[in-house]
Amino acid sequence: MDVTTVNDRHLYRATVVVRDPHDPTGQVQMPARVVRFGPPGWLTVIHSAASAEMIAMYPTDRVVEVSELREVGSDDPVDGAG
């Protein structure tokens, strides 16, 4: 599925850290993911596998951190992002 079918707003590349649903004290780090903020209350993350892409949506209350935020197609960090 093309990510634009999920939403046609800005896409970013970032490192995402979410709470591990199987370990309440653990976290899962996902480096170099394409992300989109939305729909409201959700973070949309694209996971690339060897043969396909998967689109996952994480509720924002599970998102611990989004860092190294850059617009897709740009090498410049987004203002205020690390």
What does pLDDT average to in each consecutive run of 10 residues of the chain (82 residues)? 50 93 90 90 86 88 92 71 49
* Residue range of the domain that includes 19: 3-71
Q: Is residue 82 part of a domain?
A: no
Q: Is residue 15 part of a domain?
A: yes
What pLDDT, on the 0 to 100 scale, is given for residue 56? 94
Rounded CA-CA distance 5/66 in Å is 23
Q: Is residue 81 part of a domain?
A: no
Integer-rounded Cα Rg, in Å, for the chain is 13
Identify any residues that bridge with 17 across adjacent strands, giving them in sequence order: 29, 65
Into how many domains does the chain fold? 1
Q: Is residue 25 part of a domain?
A: yes
What pLDDT, on the 0 to 100 scale, is given for residue 66? 92
What pLDDT, on the 0 to 100 scale, is given for residue 24? 79
Rounded CA-CA distance 59/56 in Å is 10
Q: Is residue 80 part of a domain?
A: no
Q: Token digits for 17?
A: 């850290």
Q: Is residue 78 part of a domain?
A: no
